Homo-oligomer: A and B are copies of this chain.
């Protein structure tokens, strides 16, 4: 295990310490939890609070999305494991500005069950909670069973859009509706080239042969569509786009935002090669690109691989996507 770490068991807590030292003006701890962080200027009185959370190992997901125009608080689990309901409750309580709380996170069963417990506890404290789940990975279940789909990098769009709507002063139902609109309009698929290692486990959770890649693999190594010999990037993108475009389905005349996300070890250069092919395919399909995001928006530590996400822009989505937002964990927005 080649990592720049100290004690593997202290990995998450020490990372949080480093983050708080580096960003004292941006983040602070939520009262009553070592594993929950919030906007340094929060709670924002009268604003719908958006709370997220999930396993560690995915920065900027999750804590990197806390900030003005984005989310309010986050609970932090061990690497690739759900946070505890106590930490989720602490985040919910601390972020609550009197206008209700949106729990917005990825559709993983550990997170769903633990956030479910936290939401029940919050309701007992008279905090209104609504839940929206990102579930953008087209490979993870057939479209008819969308509620079984897992979330990958496309979660970014739901964060950005819900965050912008909350910042505008929308109420809880409206913020949740915008988040859900983004979630159901987003489709993603990825490819993995190398595994990553959970520090406390010490060994990669899966293996890929010297010349292999897995199309559709999830960001924790969940099984994908198929394992294949390394292919040229254009062929990889062709297969990704075939699955992504056909799923919503996207159609000629649509306007989209594109996210090409790197999982960690894949260099920026290769992400732009992926975008290059994506753009050609979209042009051919008569689909126009409003904005392209290319970079690391959801990582899996040192995993090599990438994903392409499309968000179909309709109604308010474009305005909300374009709204300002700030977090020092994110790439600068294209403008």
Q: Which residues of A contact B (CB under 8 A)?
A: 2-7, 11, 14-15, 17-19, 21-23, 25-26, 56-57, 59-60, 64, 191, 193-194, 210-211, 213, 230, 232-234, 236, 264-270, 272-276, 279, 292, 294-296, 299, 301-302, 304, 306, 326-335
If A4-B306, A6-B273 are given as contacts, then 17 extra A-B residue pairs at C-beta distance below 8 Å, sorted by A number, are A2-B194, A2-B213, A3-B233, A3-B270, A4-B266, A14-B276, A18-B273, A19-B272, A21-B275, A22-B275, A59-B268, A268-B296, A326-B332, A328-B335, A329-B331, A329-B332, A332-B332
Which of B234, B328, B334 makes the CB contact (< 8 A) with A332?
A: B328
What number of copies of this chain does the assembly contain?
A: 2
Whether B18 contacts A275 by the Cβ 8 Å rule is yes
Cα(A334)–Cα(B302), bound, Å: 24
Nearest 8 A-B pairs (CB), nearest first? A18-B276, A18-B272, A265-B265, A59-B268, A4-B270, A267-B301, A4-B233, A328-B334
Beta-carbon contact of A302 and B266 below 8 Å = yes
Beta-carbon nearest neighbor of A193 in chain B: B2
The complex places the Cα of A185 from the Cα of B56 at a distance, in Å, of 36
Which of chain B's residues have a CB closer than 8 A to the CB of A331? 328-332
Cβ of A304: which chain B residues have Cβ within 8 Å of it? Answer: 2, 265, 302
Please indicate the chain B residues that have their CB under 8 angstroms from the CB of A302 in the complex. Answer: 265-267, 304
How far does the Cβ of A259 sit from chain B's closest Cβ, in whole Å? 11
| Given A17-B276, A279-B22, A292-B22, A2 contacting B230 (CB threshold 8 A) | yes
Bound complex: CA of A200 vs CA of B280, how far in Å?
A: 25
